[in-house]
Amino acid sequence: MTKCPQLILASASPRRLELLAQIGIAPDAVRPADIDETPHKGERPQDYVRRMAHEKAAAISAAPDEIVLAADTVVTAGRRILGKPADRAEARAFLTLLSGRRHRVMTAIELRREDRHWSRCVPTIVKMRPLDTAEIEDYLESEEWQGKAGGYAIQGRAGAFVTWISGSFTAVVGLPLAETATLLNAARTAQKGTQ
């Protein structure tokens, strides 16, 4: 009987752990990837998020019986990448920019097992209602924006700002579950040396 490969999560995100738990998956280990997340000059958001997931997966040391799962999420307004705000002022600028408009959230996932890679990029369109200054300041005071792409958490208080989405809610939170489950199944059942 073949031993089931172990799952290594290349992320320190508690949200990704919670999302995996929703589908009954508990990683065998958590090994956050430490990489430079600076976008390249002129890099398109989709290319950037795919590169980040790939580089995170590649940065983790793994045994032959381990599968590395890496992910990256970005919020984009046009071609502008809104990463994790550096401070409250940047979070305010992000929320002001997103207020009353549609934006795109992209989460790329990549699995690596030895020299094989499986990846997906899942785009979702999010519409925020217009926000007034008091609402933005109240949200900033909550500090929920810290460590969140685009400066907001749809699964938290900022859920009240979102009027609709088209795509994957779990991708906006940080890990598209349907696509992750499909890729995990492919990686777990892949036979060594086959393509």
- Assign residue 109 the CATH number of its domain: 3.90.950.10
Question: Residue 163 falls within a domain, yes or no?
Answer: yes
The pLDDT of residue 195 is 41
Question: Residue 129 falls within a domain, yes or no?
Answer: yes
The pLDDT of residue 191 is 59
* Residues 42, 162: Cα–Cα separation, whole Å: 29
Active site residue 87: no
| DSSP letter string, 24-44 | T---SEE-------PPPTT--
User: Helix H segments across 144-176?
Assistant: 169-173
Question: Residue 195 falls within a domain, yes or no?
Answer: no
Question: Residue 1 falls within a domain, yes or no?
Answer: no
Question: Residue 47 falls within a domain, yes or no?
Answer: yes
Judged on CB neighbours under 10 Å (0-12, 13-18, 19+), 167 is middle
- Per the listing, tokens 């400066």 go with 151
Annotated active-site residue in 47, 65, 72, 132:
72
The pLDDT of residue 3 is 62
What domain range is 121 assigned to?
6-189
Question: Residue 24 falls within a domain, yes or no?
Answer: yes
Question: Residue 96 falls within a domain, yes or no?
Answer: yes
Provide the whole-model pTM: 0.90
Question: Residue 194 falls within a domain, yes or no?
Answer: no
* Residues 164, 148: Cα–Cα separation, whole Å: 19
User: Mean pLDDT in runs of 10 for the chain (195 residues)?
Assistant: 79 92 94 92 94 96 93 93 94 98 97 94 98 97 95 96 97 96 91 48
Strands 29-30 and 6-9: parallel
The SS3 assignment for 144 reads coil
Strand partners, 124: 105
The pLDDT of residue 177 is 97
Domain count for the chain: 1
